[in-house]
Amino acid sequence: MTIRRTLSSWAMTLGIIIMISVWMAPFLIAANKPQMTLSPFTSAPIVTPVSRTDYGINVFSYDNQLNAPSTIPTLNTLDMGMQQFPNANEWSWTTNTFRNGGTAPVSLADWGQILTQTHNQGLFIFNYDENPTFTGGGTPHDATVLTQYIVQHHLPISAIVIGSEEYGSWDHYANLNPSFSAQYYAKQAQLIALAIHQVDPTMKVGVSFALGDGPHSTLWDQTVLREDAPYINFLSVHDYPNQKLLSNAQLLAALPQEITSAMQLIHNEITANVPPEVAHHLQIWVTEYNPYGEPGPQSLHAIYGAAMVESAILWRAEGANRLFVWSFDGQAHIANATASSQWPLATNSSQPYGLFALAGDGIAPELPMNQLYPSGILLSHFMQAIGQGASLSTWVSPSVIIGEVSHHAFSDWFLINDTSNVQTISINTQSIVLPPASLTEMSHQNPITQTTVESMVTTPSTLTHYQTGVPLFTVPNQAVYAGETVTLTGEHFAAAGPGSRVILFQNGTSYGAPGNAYQVQILHWTPTTIQFLMPSGSSGPPLSPGSAQIQVETTNQVISLPETLSVGPIPTLPILNISPGQAAPGSSITVSGNSFGHVQGTGYVMVSQNGVNYGGPGDAYHVNITHWSNQQIIFTVPNGSSGPALVPGPATVKIVNAQGLSSPLLSLTISPASEPSLSASFTLAPLTPYPGQEVTISGNNFGNSQGAGYVMISQNGINYGGPGDAYHVAISTWSNQKIVITLPNGSSGPSLTPGSAQLVVVNNQGMNLGTLNLQVQKAPEIPATLLNTPPFVPGQWVTVSGQDFGSTQGQGYVFITQDGVNYGAPTDSYPVAVKQWSNTRITFLVPTSAYLVDGHYERSLSLGQVATLTIVTASGLKSRPLTVTVGS
Instruction: Place 834 in a pLDDT band, splitting at 50, 70 and 90.
Output: confident
- pLDDT value at position 318? 92
- Mean pLDDT on 764-789: 82
Total residue count of the chain as it appears in this document: 888
- Mean pLDDT on 729-742: 92
The candidate with the shortest Cα–Cα distance to 771, out of 734, 811, 731, 722, is 722
**Do β-strands 738-742 and 730-734 pair in parallel, antiparallel, or remain unpaired?**
antiparallel
The candidate with the shortest Cα–Cα distance to 770, out of 681, 695, 638, is 681
User: Which residues fall within 8 angstroms of residue 581, CB to CB, at 6 or more apart?
Assistant: 667, 668, 669
- Mean pLDDT on 646-671: 87
556 or 677, higher pLDDT: 556
- How far apart are the C-alpha atoms of 370 and 355, rounded to whole Å? 14
- How far apart are the C-alpha atoms of 132 and 142, rounded to whole Å? 8
Q: Tell me: pLDDT of 792 over 70.
A: yes
- How far apart are the C-alpha atoms of 569 and 565, rounded to whole Å? 13
Which region holds residue 649: left if phi is over 0, alpha if psi is between -120 and 50, else beta?
left
- Mean pLDDT on 136-152: 86
- Mean pLDDT on 638-657: 82
**Do β-strands 649-656 and 3-6 pair in parallel, antiparallel, or remain unpaired?**
unpaired
Question: Residue 241: is the preceding peptide bond cis (ω within 30°)?
Answer: no
Continuous H helices in 618-688: none
User: Which residues fall within 8 angstroms of residue 629, CB to CB, at 6 or more apart?
Assistant: 596, 598
Work out the angle at residue 403's Cα, subtended by the Cα atoms of residues 400 and 409, and round it to the nearest 5 degrees. 135
The candidate with the shortest Cα–Cα distance to 326, out of 284, 290, 372, 373, is 290
Q: How far is CA 431 from CA 5, 428, 452, 453, in A?
A: 16, 8, 9, 10
Give the tens place of pLDDT for each residue, 7-53: 332 332 232 222 222 222 222 222 233 333 334 444 478 888 999 99
Q: Which residue(s) pair with 414 in the sheet?
A: 403, 441
pLDDT above 70 as % of the chain? 82
Choice among 83-87, 333-337, 824-828 with the minimum mean pLDDT: 333-337
Q: What is the mean pLDDT of the chain?
A: 80
HSE (side-chain half, CA atoms, 13 Å) at 385:
27
- Counting other chains too, the contacts that 400-405 makes at CB distance below 8 Å and 24 or more residues apart are 400/41, 400/425, 400/434, 400/453, 401/256, 401/310, 401/313, 401/314, 402/41, 402/45, 402/427, 402/448, 402/451, 403/309, 403/313, 403/317, 404/45, 404/447, 404/448, 405/50
- pLDDT value at position 537? 74
Choice among 174-188, 387-401, 752-766 with the minimum mean pLDDT: 174-188
159 SS3 class: strand
454 or 577, higher pLDDT: 577
Instruction: Place 1 in a pLDDT band, splitting at 50, 70 and 90.
Output: very low
Give the tens place of pLDDT for each residue, 579-609: 998 988 888 999 998 888 888 988 999 999 8
Q: Tell me: pLDDT of 310 over 90.
A: yes
Work out the angle at residue 10's Cα, subtended by the Cα atoms of residues 9 and 12, and round it to the nearest 5 degrees. 70
For residue 820, count other CB atoms closer than 10 A to its CB: 12
Give the torsion through C-alpha atoms of 826, 829, 835, 839, to 10 deg: -30
134 or 105, higher pLDDT: 105
- How far apart are the C-alpha atoms of 40 and 398, rounded to whole Å? 11
Choice among 37-51, 502-516, 526-540, 705-719 with the minimum mean pLDDT: 37-51
The candidate with the shortest Cα–Cα distance to 512, out of 547, 481, 548, 552, is 552
- How far apart are the C-alpha atoms of 730 and 725, rounded to whole Å? 13
Residue 272: DSSP 8-state: H
- pLDDT value at position 651? 92
Q: Tell me: pLDDT of 531 over 90.
A: yes
- pLDDT value at position 266? 94
Q: Tell me: pLDDT of 305 over 50.
A: yes
Question: Residues 871, 882: contact at Cβ < 8 Å?
Answer: no
864 or 677, higher pLDDT: 864
The candidate with the shortest Cα–Cα distance to 492, out of 561, 401, 572, 558, is 558
Query: Highest-confidence range of 82-91, 111-120, 472-481, by mean pLDDT?
Result: 111-120
